[in-house]
A and B are shown apart, each in its own frame.
Chain A
Amino acid sequence: DAGVIQSPRHEVTEMGQEVTLRCKPISGHDYLFWYRQTMMRGLELLIYFNNNVPIDDSGMPEDRFSAKMPNASFSTLKIQPSEPRDSAVYFCASSNRQGSSYNEQFFGPGTRLTVL
């Protein structure tokens, strides 16, 4: 398996533009997580899905952020309009769960977003 795939790896855009980040989880994983990482705030969970259904989006900073998971192999995180303070590395991670036991969260390589 190729692991979690994210695209693009780097994105530079201007303030006000729409940004779409993409993620393909590991096949067979039923949980998908979107994280944001900055020096100031560390690693923040934005939203996570179980079987394509959003479970907790309380970490989404504001209405400018939205996430979708139309099927088990694809998810998007959209920022519209983007602002300079959105500059960060965005990670997607996937996992599965056996009964009540956690399994490892596998992270993608991340998307480094710079909003000018």
Chain B
Amino acid sequence: GENVEQHPSTLSVQEGDSAVIKCTYSDSASNYFPWYKQELGKRPQLIIDIRSNVGEKKDQRIAVTLNKTAKHFSLHITETQPEDSAVYFCAASIEDSNYQLIWGAGTKLIIKP
């Protein structure tokens, strides 16, 4: 079955710098890749997603890239701000198959002032 690995587990960056979180997946049939953000004590919330027919997607300061050949996808946050501090989860799934998301272990992003 599908396995998703996420790195790093913790990432500390200076406010204003960029942050990159990477995920790899094992099942080449996976075609849907969402990213969720979970602030301390709160619920996970979708921030961006990408499908396998697209190589990159942007939404203001966040972007996701997908490399199907290498089976990895990444979250990029530019001009980081204190409110970006959170745990970020990647996930993967096969849209035409079951509806189950396979989750990465999460990355704790710390924005230093």
Q: Among residues 66 to 116 in chain A, which have CB atoms less than 8 Å away from a CB atom of chain B?
A: 91, 95, 97, 100-102, 104-105, 107-110
Query: How far does the Cβ of B52 sit from chain A's closest Cβ, in whole Å?
Result: 12
Residues of B contacting A: mostly: loop
CA distance A57 to B84 in the complex (A): 34
Q: Among residues 80 to 113 in chain B, which have CB atoms less than 8 Å away from a CB atom of chain A?
A: 89, 93, 95-96, 98-101, 103, 105-106
Q: Among residues 30 to 73 in chain A, which have CB atoms less than 8 Å away from a CB atom of chain B?
A: 31, 42-43, 45, 48, 50, 55-56
Say yes or no: A43 contacts B103, CB within 8 Å.
Answer: yes
Does B45 belong to the interface (CB within 8 Å)? Answer: yes
Say yes or no: B95 contacts A100, CB within 8 Å.
Answer: yes
Q: Which residues of B contact A100 (CB under 8 A)?
A: 95-96
Query: How far does the Cβ of B54 sit from chain A's closest Cβ, in whole Å?
Result: 13
Query: How far does the Cβ of B27 sit from chain A's closest Cβ, in whole Å?
Result: 16
Residues of A contacting B: mostly: strand
Using C-beta atoms within 8 Å of the partner chain, give the interface range for chain A. 20 to 34
CA distance A43 to B44 in the complex (A): 10
Known: A101-B95, A102-B32. A42 touches B106 (CB 8 A): yes
Say yes or no: A109 contacts B43, CB within 8 Å.
Answer: yes
Say yes or no: B106 contacts A43, CB within 8 Å.
Answer: yes
Say yes or no: A55 contacts B99, CB within 8 Å.
Answer: yes
Say yes or no: B46 contacts A105, CB within 8 Å.
Answer: yes
Say yes or no: A48 contacts B43, CB within 8 Å.
Answer: no
Say yes or no: B46 contacts A104, CB within 8 Å.
Answer: yes
CA distance A8 to B100 in the complex (A): 26
Query: How far does the Cβ of A38 sit from chain B's closest Cβ, in whole Å?
Result: 11
Q: Which residues of A contact B43 (CB under 8 A)?
A: 91, 107-110
B99 nearest CB neighbor, chain A only: A31
Q: Which residues of A contact B42 (CB under 8 A)?
A: 109
B32 nearest CB neighbor, chain A only: A102
Q: Among residues 18 to 75 in chain B, which have CB atoms less than 8 Å away from a CB atom of chain A?
A: 32, 34, 42-46, 49
Which residues does A use to contact B, with CB under 8 Å? Answer: 31, 42-43, 45, 48, 50, 55-56, 91, 95, 97, 100-102, 104-105, 107-110
